[in-house]
């Protein structure tokens, strides 16, 4: 950490708002640097300028956390189902740490080393094996001296607890974030119970990320907070939701939606939706507020603009954004200047422009989770026969 910067717990203990960044895999997929399917972060080594630029945009938008671009950077994931990479896991993790640190140094941001769920767990590997996989990423984070650690995107609280246990051994502050909604984890453990187990395992910051839209995630974190408090424990809370509206999700989240991952455009939140999210999070007592898949820099800026009164300042990128649309005062057309006001944007119900499309989908809901044979992972590519079986099964639904 740069001298003079306050650590993550110091900030949260003081009641400060900490703004996270947005999800890198989806943003970089659209920019051409991440492949949907494997979703692995080799771009940290391959195209550092693209990753650096995205870090910088989030920093400029108001983020206080530069999370290392190490999502799915565990060795078992990097080699899953025929993914061919020319970089080792260690190389990718190291490059990601360097990029995060470089940009963090340009502003008031901390570096968070991130790990997430592993294919090994889905494939029913033992606690020891899963922990060993996670440990390899941590070795890099310690070497690169990240400021704190985040175990995120866990669907099963059992694996999340294992991750926290591994992370705690480093002595760094530990945040734990599950990709669950109000219905709880994939085995039906409630958010409240998940949070209690994570707190007992030593996580100092607890919350949810990904899989659901902002309001659903805030609801889940509220349930976590209530559970932790009822158990007489203490924690800080974080939320890093999708930037997609998902009122139609079941417990598996947006992975189940027919639109995942290449047809989600109509669901993207506007900046005004983000204002509501930021306010709702703050009111719920959540102080670490960021984003996940779908977040673009302007979404984080909207969070920072909504919480500017609490933080005492606007983010750098607001030089290019009039709050609540005020920049439109400079538009050439009079009817657009007429939209330069908060009540216009707050009340707008934006149309989809898609009259042949519905407003909600029926999720796939195959109902398989860890332990189910369909979820066993493999290093070789999915075969044509395996695909045919899947295609047929899907059509018969």
What count of residues does the chain have? 397
Our finding on whether 276 is near a second copy (CB under 8 A) is no
Among 9, 113, 103, 3, CA closest to 58: 103
Is 2 or 368 the residue whose CB approaches a second copy more closely?
368
Residues 57-68 as b/e (b if ≥16 CB within 10 A, e otherwise) read: bbbbbbbbbbbb
Our finding on whether 107 is near a second copy (CB under 8 A) is no
The one among 147, 159, 213, 219 contacting a second copy by CB under 8 A: 213
Helices (H), the chain: 8-13, 24-31, 43-46, 48-61, 75-78, 89-104, 119-122, 127-143, 157-168, 191-201, 214-230, 271-283, 297-306, 308-311, 334-337, 342-347, 384-395
Provide, rounded to whole angstroms, the least separation between the CB of residue 137 and a second copy: 18
Is 2 or 360 the residue whose CB approaches a second copy more closely?
360
The one among 10, 30, 88, 200 contacting a second copy by CB under 8 A: 30
Beta-carbon contacts of residue 395 (< 8 Å; ≥ 6 apart): none
Provide, rounded to whole angstroms, the least separation between the CB of residue 284 and a second copy: 21
Is 169 or 265 the residue whose CB approaches a second copy more closely?
265
Our finding on whether 301 is near a second copy (CB under 8 A) is yes
The one among 128, 171, 349, 385 contacting a second copy by CB under 8 A: 349
* Residues binding a second copy: number (CB under 8 A): 105
Our finding on whether 86 is near a second copy (CB under 8 A) is no
Our finding on whether 338 is near a second copy (CB under 8 A) is yes
The one among 13, 126, 188, 348 contacting a second copy by CB under 8 A: 348
Decide if 105 contacts 82 (C-beta within 8 A).
no
Q: Which of residues 37-56 bind a second copy (CB under 8 A)?
A: 37-38, 49-50, 53, 56
CA distance 321 to 311: 18
Is 40 or 93 the residue whose CB approaches a second copy more closely?
40
- Tell me the three state secondary structure of residue 95: helix
Torsion of CA 359, 345, 303, 32, to 10 degrees: 60
Among 84, 90, 46, CA closest to 70: 90
Our finding on whether 266 is near a second copy (CB under 8 A) is yes
β-partners of residue 282 are: none
Our finding on whether 2 is near a second copy (CB under 8 A) is no
State the binding string over 143-182 for a second copy (x if CB under 8 A, else -): ----------------------------------------
CA distance 26 to 6: 30
210 annotated as a binding-site residue: yes
């Amino acid at each position: 950490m740069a001298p003079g910067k306050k650590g993550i717990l110091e900030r949260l203990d003081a009641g400060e708002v900490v703004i996270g960044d947005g999800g890198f895999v989806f943003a970089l997929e659209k920019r051409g640097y991440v492949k949907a399917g494997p979703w692995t972060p080799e771009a940290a080594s391959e195209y550092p300028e693209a990753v650096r630029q995205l870090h910088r945009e989030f920093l400029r938008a108001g983020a206080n956390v530069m999370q290392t671009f190490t999502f799915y950077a565990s060795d078992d994931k990097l080699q899953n189902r025929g993914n061919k990479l020319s970089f080792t896991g260690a190389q990718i993790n190291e490059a990601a740490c360097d990029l995060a640190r470089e940009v963090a140094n340009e502003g008031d941001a901390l570096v968070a080393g991130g790990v997430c769920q592993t294919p090994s767990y889905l494939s029913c590997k033992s606690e020891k094996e899963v922990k060993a996989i996670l440990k390899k990423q941590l070795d890099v984070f310690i070497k690169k001296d990240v400021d704190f650690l985040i175990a995120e995107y866990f669907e099963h609280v059992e694996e999340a607890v294992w991750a926290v246990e591994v992370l705690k051994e480093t002595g760094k502050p530990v945040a734990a974030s599950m990709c669950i909604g109000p219905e709880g984890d994939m085995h039906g453990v409630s958010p409240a119970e998940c949070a209690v187990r994570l707190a007992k395992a030593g996580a100092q910051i607890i919350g949810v990320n990904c899989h659901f839209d902002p309001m659903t995630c805030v609801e889940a974190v509220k349930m976590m907070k209530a559970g932790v408090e009822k158990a007489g424990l203490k924690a800080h809370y974080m939320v890093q939701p999708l930037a997609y509206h998902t009122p139609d999700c079941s417990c598996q989240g947006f992975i189940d939606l027919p639109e995942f991952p290449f047809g989600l455009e109509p669901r993207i939140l506007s900046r005004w939706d983000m204002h509501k999210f930021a306010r709702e999070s703050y009111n719920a007592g959540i102080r670490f507020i960021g984003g996940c898949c779908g977040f673009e820099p302007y979404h984080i800026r909207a969070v920072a603009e909504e919480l500017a009164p609490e933080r005492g300042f606007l983010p750098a990128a607001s030089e290019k954004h009039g709050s609540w649309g005020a920049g439109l005062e400079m538009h050439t057309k009079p009817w657009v200047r007429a939209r330069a006001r908060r009540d216009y944007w707050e009340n707008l119900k934006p149309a989809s422009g898609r009259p042949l499309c519905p407003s909600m989908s029926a999720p796939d809901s195959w109902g398989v989770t860890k332990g189910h044979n369909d979820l066993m992972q493999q290093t070789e590519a999915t075969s044509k026969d395996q695909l045919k079986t899947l295609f047929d099964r899907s059509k018969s639904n």
